[in-house]
Chains A and B, each alone.
Chain A
């Protein structure tokens, strides 16, 4: 087990709704990255948080936003959900000093 936990594990939302996904990072890690993995694709980088600040962002629209808390846990918020947002959302915990990232089990979001 990596010590990275995500909640919820599964979620069904309707188009236009908003969703919040949560991630608790591994002890000792101060960096959390979020990825979206569509079916049959590799994970795509959404953004990264380091010490409560956004530290890089991928090619995702502003309706994807995030937060990191003082204990380094993190949230991913998605507004105005679209059908194409249906995917596995992965949180990866790491430290800037180390190269490896460790993933939570993911949240599978279905937008109907």
Chain B
């Protein structure tokens, strides 16, 4: 079983739509959780960390459910510039390796 599983998509949504991505992880001892964004042929860039209490950054909301080992990312009012691959990332805590999902592809259509 993979450490982190994501629906690869693709998700094609119109501008202004709300879209949600989900991710599950297998290691219940995981301590750190992130969403990264990766544009085509570029490096991943940190979008936001994910906390148990949930966190919001503008149009982006991330949620963590430790009991279900489930992470989500909600994007409201999608913009064309949101088109990218979104990577779910899980880590053991301080230091050491992160486990990446395969990424979910999003295309926002005019």
Q: Which residues of A approach B to under 8 Å, CB–CB?
A: 2, 31, 33, 35, 40-45, 48, 50, 55-56, 58, 88, 90, 92, 94, 96-106, 108
Contact = CB atoms under 8 A, between A and B. Distances in A.
Contacts of B21: none
A88 B39 CA distance: 13
Given A42-B102, A43-B100, A48 B43 contact: no
B44 A99 contact: no
A52 to B, nearest CB: 15
Contact of A99 (B45, B49, B103): B49
Interface of B: 4, 31-32, 34, 41-46, 49, 87, 91, 93-103
Contacts of A96: 94-95
A96 B41 CA distance: 28
Contacts of A43: 44, 87, 100
B42 A105 contact: yes
Nearest to A105: B43
A106 B43 contact: yes
Given A42-B87, A42-B103, A101 B98 contact: yes
A42 B38 CA distance: 10
A88 B85 CA distance: 15
A44 B42 CA distance: 16
A50 B95 CA distance: 9
B53 to A, nearest CB: 16
12 contacts: A41-B102, A42-B101, A55-B95, A55-B96, A90-B43, A99-B49, A99-B93, A99-B94, A103-B43, A105-B43, A106-B42, A108-B41
Given A100-B34, A100-B49, A56 B44 contact: no
Contacts of B94: 96-99
Contacts of A45: 97-99
Contacts of A103: 43-45
